[in-house]
Structure formats: C-alpha cells, structure tokens
Structure 1
Amino acid sequence: MGMLNNNSKSKMTSTDAEYQLNHSEFIVLGLIAEGPSHAYQLNEKIKERGMRDWTSIGKSSVYRVIKSLRKEGYADRWIEEVDNRVIKVYQITEKGLKTLKKHVYEVLKSFYGRNDEDFYVAFSMLPLLSKEKQIEALNYSIENMKIHITELKQMLEENSQMPLNVTGLFIHPIEILKTDIKFLEWVLEQIKKGKGSAVPKDYINQEKKEK
C-alpha cells in the first residue's frame, strides 16, 4: 500500500564499499566526530541528550560499536593515564568523517515520512553538511514525499468504496507526509537564513569543513 514503515535498524549500503554504517555505528561515529572521547563520555552524552528515547542505542553497544569503527578505519584510538587509570580515547579519522557526512546526506535525502530513527540521528548532525548540501538533501526528500502523497491519493481514490479500516490506512500516511513536508519546508527556511550552521558547543572544535 506504500504505507509508512520502520526500517531504521537495517544497514544502509551504497555502491561505494566504504559507505556502510548501521544505526548504532551512525550514532557513535557522530558523537566521536564532535571531539576525542572515551567510551564513558560517549555514554554520558547519549544519556544527557536523551538519545535512548529516540534511538536504539544500548549502553553496552557503545563498546562493541567502537571496536567495529576502529576495524573499519573510521576511528583511531590512543591511551591516556588519568589518576593512575588507563583510559582509551577515540577520535574520528578522515575516512570516518567522509563516510559520516555521506551517510548524513543520504539519510536526509532518502527520508519520506517513515518512522525512521536514522532520520533523527542525521538531523542532529545537520551542521556537518554545507548549506548547499543541506538544501539539496531536504529538497530531494520533500519532492519524494510529494510524489508519494500523489501515489497514495490515487490508491485512496481507487479504494474509495472500501470500509474505514482500509481507507484510513491511506489517509493516515498522507496526513503524516503533509506534516513532514511542512516541517522540512520550515527547516529549509531556517537554513536559508543561515541557521543551519548553528552547532552544539562540542562541534566548535571540529574544524574540518565540508569541501
């Protein structure tokens, strides 16, 4: 029926073999991109920002994900000694930053009203993209949603004589898509006013810019 679905936990792939991040990797790599951090700090950021309310990242997942990111060459590690304790500090690599930016762009671009946890993660990393890339990705998303609304309306018309429990399954996603379009159009207005570059304090130290 073309209705909304939740595929946020599936792995996003691309023809570029370097570009493969699952949901948890996406979250952790984004946090590391804000600046060098150890695993405890990453878990604290997740807790402070209430990220477990809108993502599927578990506390123990962070350690496993970091190992995966290092294996793929997306993160580096070094050892520090603090108060006689050995602490492992992680930092994003150039390869990791390139992959992260691409993933943020692709998730925003492909969003069309699904209940997609990755969209919230990508939106939280919006400042990683240039103004042009932000506008390009969101415009693409809006156009796709408009096409999807047209398709759903056509199916609704074809099934107009069906009972409420059938027609409602078309009407509901149509209304959700309208709301999402309205939101993204507002976001675009803010970006064009220069507000898309407003970044969290942690990102101030992130001097690598979109080329």
Structure 2
Amino acid sequence: MELTPAELTVLGLVVEQPRHGYDLEQVIEQRGIRQWTEIGFSSIYYLLAKLEKRGLLSAEEAGGGAKSRRVFRATRQGRQVATDGALAFIADGRTVPQPVLVGLANLALVAERDYDQALSSRLTRVEARIASVTEAQRSQTPLPPAAREVFSYSLSLLEAERSWLVARVRGGDE
C-alpha cells in the first residue's frame, strides 16, 4: 500500500504515540514539518479519516462532554505500512523539485546585479531558516530519534545551501 508523503507523516506521528488532531497540529508546527511536506491545518482531519478508512488507524473517544476528542492509534497493519513506506522513502533516489534550479537554468535572462541581489536575499532567508530550525530543535530536546534525524538532515541541507550561497555572494569570505 503506497502512501503520500503527507499520509506517511501523519501515520508516522500516530505510530510514535497515539494522538488527536489538535495534538498532531501542535507537533507538526513545533517540528517545522510543513517546511518539507504539504500538510495544511485543514488537511489533518481529512488525512486521519482517510487513514482510518484504510484500516491503518483506529480511533476512540477520549475525555467526556463537549471537550471529547477522538484519539487515533496505529493498527498493526498501519505500523507495517508506515515501516514499509518509511524505508521506501529513505531508499528512494528521486530528487525533490527545487524552484531555484528553474531560476538558475534561466540565468541568461537575468542581469548580474539582479542575480547578486536575489542570491543575497536567498542567503538571508536560508540563514534565518537555519536559526529557526536550530532553535526549534533545541527547544524540544529530548527528541524522538525520528525527529532528531529530520532536524539533522534538514540542517545539513540548509548548511550546504548556505555554503554555496556564501561562496557566490561574499566570495567565500566565511
């Protein structure tokens, strides 16, 4: 059973521990998951319902009265599908589309001064993102191993991009 990145991410978070929709939203926000997968706030409940319908999650009411929430748990099949999906995504050699490559491929259309300004602007955003991801990682310690690896990989990619940008913007002064 093949999952989309958003489905696998939600399923994986529920495999990590049983969760309700609002809890998922908080974890997605805290870990910066929206930076690398498309999970909108409004799509969380849609994804939960879809995964439940496919037999990958089960739900039970928690709490009483008006504040009751459905808490989702991964089924045995859900755990297996999540494991298989995670391994498939890790081994997958496809590259993620990078809009910057489209811009670079059309560099002949851009004045050098504008290109330098665009690179400087991108460097500023990348440095801000590095600071944000680093702070998010630091504020959530200790992290589950999966989250720790996501932060590590994300920071490595951002640092590589920062290094490439610095070499072009500042002539490698740093």
TM band (smaller chain): 0.5 to 0.7
1:90, distance to aligned residue in structure 2 (A)? 0.3
Unaligned 5+ runs, structure 1: 1-18, 118-164, 167-197, 204-211
Contact 1:38 1:87 in 2 (8 A): yes
The one of 63, 80, 87 equivalent to 1:81 is 63
1:20, distance to aligned residue in structure 2 (A)? 1.9
> Could you tell me the percent identity over the aligned residues?
27
| Pair 1:81–1:46, CA change in 2 (3 A) | same
TM-score in terms of structure 1 length: 0.45
Structure 2 partner of 1:200: 144
Structure 2 partner of 1:46: 28
| Pair 1:49–1:199, CA change in 2 (3 A) | closer
Q: Secondary structure at the match of 1:67?
A: helix
Unaligned 5+ runs, structure 2: 99-104, 107-141, 148-174
| Pair 1:74–1:116, CA change in 2 (3 A) | farther
> Which structure ranks higher in relative contact order (CA pairs < 8 Å, sequence separation ≥ 6)?
1
1:28 maps to 2:18? no
Q: Secondary structure at the match of 1:115?
A: coil
TM alignment of 1:121-132, pairs within 5 A: none
Structure 1 partner of 2:41: 59
Q: Secondary structure at the match of 1:20?
A: coil
1:106, distance to aligned residue in structure 2 (A)? 1.1
Number of aligned residues: 106
Structure 2 partner of 1:102: 84
In 1, the alpha carbon distance for the partners of 2:4 and 2:35 equals 18
Stretches (4+) displaced over 3 A = none
Q: Secondary structure at the match of 2:63?
A: strand
Structure 1 partner of 2:159: none
1:23, distance to aligned residue in structure 2 (A)? 2.1
| Pair 1:41–1:99, CA change in 2 (3 A) | same
> What amino acid is aligned across from residue 23 of structure 1 in structure 2?
P
| Pair 1:105–1:202, CA change in 2 (3 A) | closer
TM alignment of 1:43-192, pairs within 5 A: 43-82=25-64, 85-112=67-94, 114-115=95-96
Structure having the larger proportion of residues in helix: 2
| Pair 1:116–1:93, CA change in 2 (3 A) | farther
TM alignment of 1:14-25, pairs within 5 A: 19-25=1-7
In 2, the alpha carbon distance for the partners of 1:69 and 1:98 equals 13
TM-score in terms of structure 2 length: 0.54
| Pair 1:34–1:116, CA change in 2 (3 A) | farther
> What amino acid is aligned across from residue 91 of structure 1 in structure 2?
R
In 1, the alpha carbon distance for the partners of 2:69 and 2:12 equals 20
Partner deviation per Cα, 1:100-145 (whole Å, 9 max, x = no partner):
1101111111225x0169xxxxxxxxxxxxxxxxxxxxxxxxxxxx
RMSD of aligned Cα (Å): 2.8
